[in-house]
A = this chain, B = another copy of it.
Amino acid sequence: MLGLGVVGSGVATSLQRKAVLLENLLGRPLELRSILVRDPTKERPVRLPAGTLTSDPAVVLDDPDVNIIVELLGRVDPAHKYICRAIRNGKHVVTANKDVLALHGSAILGLALEHNVDLYFEASVGAGIPLVGSFRQALVANEIQSLHAIINGTTNYILTRMVREGLDFEVALKSAQRLGYAESDPRNDLDGEDAAYKLAILASLAFHFKVEPSDVYREGISSLKPADFRYAGEFGYAIKLLAVGKRDGNKVELRVHPVLINQDHLLAGVNDVFNAVRVQGDLMGEALFYGRGAGSKPSSSAVVADIVDAAHNINSGVSNRIPFGYRSQLKLRPIGEVVSRSYVRLWVADRPGVLAQIAHIFGNQTISIAACVQKETNSATQGAEIVILTHPAREDSLQGALSEVARLVSVHEVASHIRIEDFH
């Protein structure tokens, strides 16, 4: 094993506690031979036989008696290098590393095929939720039409607090940090980057084409205001950070951003740190997978299952039983071509004709207004708040309209633009 952090300790503990169960399952015991750590003398939450810990990568990676390397270091380097070295040494690799997978997955899978070993990565996305296995096996007969995923626990926790308690973003974030649900530098989660990496992995499995994290358009949640949750609620919507992959013909759109979704939809009921992935396929129809997307135990559940799978394959003398491969000739749809409904919140001067001016600009861009609400004036600010829900329109048309609207003298601010996601 490489790494003995939160997930590593959970895996080591599970392997110990479940040793009998696993031996019954496999017909022979699993031995946790050695673990690479930075400091082998440090106190650990898990008790291990003397000599298990080492700070020398070669002890783990080059041991001829080791069959399976479990990589739980996190981040790209040196995890990526170690994974490749393990594969070149003829070892099967289990990893929970979404960064390495999203950035180098395709090359690593090629290397594994070349060296006749397997790569397992169920824990890299949605920890306790069987996603990788489902896409590779149970859903394999389907042409996947769309993915809609709440796949970042930190942001979902913050949004849940904002909607339930009307909190400001900063207050909800501080609370999440105190509880350990957000890191001290939370940008990777808040900006949608973590979700984009996970979407890159899921989309490459679902649509069978090579996706880079940079292919995913992304917007974070830090500009959402309590007012947006209030208006969304009035219109019957929840606000979620959604990772969306949609296929239409040979084009795929990949995007991570806040969305309004109908309060009646199951995804709207996914709260706190939970994750969920909705999948639409041509045969299966709509399905949804829900569970814990992170944490020591849920991640261990996935990692140990992968180790068991690897051991089954070793027991049976097979490798590459289910070949990976990019079968589709798909192209990315640029965000400008994406069609969706929108929620727009504006601060305007409280004078006659403002709404008419705005509606005129929308109309010129052939964007139909589906609903509009203007609340009574806040006389202190001499401004009025207008919220507009549009019918489906292309992103570039909408952005065009919004820049024009922002230039109107009577418009103080385009305060929010949130896409509305419908499920068909």
Contact = CB atoms under 8 A, between A and B. Distances in A.
A47 to B, nearest CB: 19
A20 to B, nearest CB: 9
Nearest to A291: B287
A283 B301 contact: yes
Interface string A312-323: 110111100111
A133 B274 CA distance: 22
A284 interface: yes
A90 B288 CA distance: 37
B291 A288 contact: yes
A292 interface: yes
Nearest to A13: B283
A27 to B, nearest CB: 8
Contacts of A327: 21, 24-25
Contact of A285 (B128, B282, B304, B316): B128
A287 B18 contact: no
Interface in A306-339: 308-309, 312-313, 315-318, 321-323, 325, 327
A204 B382 CA distance: 68
A141 B284 contact: no
Interface residues of A, number: 59
A137 interface: yes
A142 interface: yes
Interface in A252-302: 264, 266, 269-270, 274, 281-292, 295, 297-298, 300-302
A122 interface: yes
Given A130-B137, A134-B133, A302-B138, A287 B281 contact: no
Contact of A321 (B264, B283, B312): B312
B141 A130 contact: no
A21 B316 CA distance: 27
B141 A122 contact: no
Contacts of A285: 128, 291-292, 295, 297-298
A140 interface: yes
Contacts of A139: 130, 301, 305
Given A266-B266, A327-B21, A128 B284 contact: yes
24 contacts: A10-B283, A14-B141, A14-B283, A21-B327, A27-B323, A122-B138, A128-B281, A130-B130, A130-B137, A133-B133, A133-B134, A133-B137, A137-B305, A137-B309, A141-B304, A266-B290, A287-B290, A287-B291, A288-B288, A288-B289, A289-B289, A315-B321, A316-B318, A317-B318
Given A14-B283, A287-B292, A288-B291, A308 B140 contact: yes
Interface in A109-147: 122, 128-130, 133-134, 137-143
